[in-house]
Each structure stands twice: as structure tokens, then as C-alpha cells.
Amino acid sequence: MTQKLRAAIFDLDNTLLDHQHANRFGLKGLQRLFSELSKISEAELEQKFEIILHSSFADVLAGRKSVAASRRERIQRLLGLYGRKISESDAQDGVEAYMTDYQQGQRLIPGTIGLLDGLMAQGVTLGMITNGINPIQQNKLDRHGLNAYFPNPVIAGEVKLEKPSKAIFDLALQIADSSAAEAVYVGDHWEADILGAHNAGIRAVYLNRYGWDLPNPEICTMVTGWEPVEESLRILMGEE
């Protein structure tokens, strides 16, 4: 007999919020500001910036750098890849250009609200784990009305843990008052989300909107979007 679903725990960026869409907007802002980036392809710029972003997160999480300093450094490192050394002032101009356009490009992934409403209507507790910093992640939740669904998100910068650590999954289960067997975890990143959930003993649903590789189909269920919502609900509820 299938275990009744008690908790559905979500990642935030690129799972509920379309970070990739917003990031592309932000990078276009940088391309307008810095001529060295203007002719670089979207795919190349996106890949290099994401590598820089992820490599800088550990210093912020550990308190070795502030969010503001880390943001400036990312712009400096990106420009450095294309042969330009920029000042702190120019880097701050880059941060402001990126963030202005990033915020304009923020949007929910289609079907998100219907999915969350459907889960709550069936008595499922919602939880969240995000490898981000507060207040940045909380502001995203507030801006898009997700704070009503996730009143107690587990934010890496607050708890000083990050995915794929089992400890951060265990904490989210504790907050949701759920065992691993009664939960499902939903995310878009193979190592941080899917392997992390699997190693914590939680059933995993892999949101793969861009045709990425599926390294091990035995440890997760893959979906390509939240619409149609009814089908996604059945998958999360464990009915398919």
C-alpha cells in the first residue's frame, strides 16, 4: 500500500520561480553596459555566470564575504574572462544593471500556483529548501505571493547548511512534521536536489524543463513542467 503523502518540499529557483528567465534578463543588462559582453552568446554567458555564481556562494554562506561584495566580485570575474579589469565602482554599476533587469524578468513557472493550491487542498503540508541567502530568497517569496504557502522556508544562509547535505533535508522534514517516507521533494538540480533527496530517503521529482541529462531514472520521477496541473498533482501525490 502506498504511503499517504504528508509533506511536499520544494526547491525555489528554477522549480517554482523561473530563475533562468530572470537571469537571462539580467545578463542582457550587463551586455548593454559592457561592450566586451555584447557579442557573447546567451548560452555561453549564462554558463559562465552560473559557474561563477555557484563558486562564490560558499564564501557568502560562511560569512567570509557580504552579499554586496560577492555580487561585485561576480561581475569583475565575468568581465575578467573577456579581458577587462573593472573597478569596484564599475562592478557596482554592473550589479545594479543586472539586478534591475533580473527583477523585471522574474516570473513563476506556469502552473505553480495551481499545483500548490492542489496539494494544500489535499491536506499536504508544503515545505521549502533553498540554497540561497536571506533576505534575498524571502523577498522573492514575498514578491510572488509564495510566502503564504511557505511560512517557514529553510534558507541555507540562515541555517548554515546547504543542499545536498542530508542535514538540511532532515531539518525540512522536522519543520513539516513528516518522515522521509511520507514526503516528496521537488527540484531542478540533479546533485543538490535529486541526489540530496535520495540520500535523505525522500522520494524525488525532477523538474527538467530544458532537456538535461537524466543520470539515473531509477531514483526519481522526471517531469518537464507543471502543466497540466492535474497530471503533476497525481505524480507528486504518488498516484502515478
Residues 127 and 79 in one domain: no
pLDDT of residue 3: 75
Q: Are residues 120 and 233 in the same domain?
A: yes
130 & 220 share domain: yes
Which residues are registered as beta bridge partners of 128? 10
Q: Is residue 129 part of a domain?
A: yes
Q: Are residues 152 and 60 in the same domain?
A: no
Pairwise CA distance, residues 36 & 229, whole Å: 43
The residue behind cell 502543466 is 227
pLDDT given for residue 2 in this prediction? 57
**206 in Cβ contact with 187 (< 8 Å):** yes
SS3 184: strand
Q: How many helices (H) and strands (E) does the chain have?
A: 10, 6
Co-location of 166 and 94 in the same domain: no
pLDDT in tens, the chain (240 residues): 457 999 999 999 999 999 999 999 999 999 999 999 999 999 999 999 999 998 888 888 888 999 999 999 999 999 999 999 999 999 999 999 999 999 999 999 999 999 999 999 999 999 999 998 988 999 999 999 999 999 999 999 999 999 999 999 999 999 999 999 999 999 999 999 999 999 999 999 999 999 988 999 999 999 999 999 999 999 999 986
Provide the angle, in degrees to the nearest 10, between the axes of the packed helices 19-33 and 42-61.
Answer: 110
Q: Which residues are catalytic?
A: 11, 13
Contact 16, 95 (CB under 8 A): no
Q: Are residues 232 and 116 in the same domain?
A: yes
DSSP-based three-state secondary structure for 48: helix
| The predicted structure's pLDDT at residue 61 | 83
Give pLDDT, residue 1: 40
User: Is the four-CA dihedral 132, 138, 139, 145 of positive or negative sign?
Assistant: positive
Give yes or no: residues 97 and 198 share one domain: no
Residue 1 is assigned to a structural domain of this protein? no
**How many domains, in total, are found in the chain?**
2
Say if CB 204 and CB 220 are below 8 A apart. yes
User: Same domain, yes or no, for 82 and 168?
Assistant: no
CB-side exposure of 26: number of CA atoms within 13 Å?
Answer: 23
Which of 105, 136, 156 terminates a domain? The answer is: 105
Domain assignment of residue 177, given as a range:
7-18+107-237
The letter for the amino acid at 185 is: Y
Residues 120 and 220 both lie in one domain? yes
- The 10s digit of each residue's pLDDT in 36-88 is 999 999 999 999 999 999 888 888 888 899 999 999 999 999 999 999 999 99
Q: Do 200 and 183 form a contact (C-beta atoms < 8 A)?
A: no
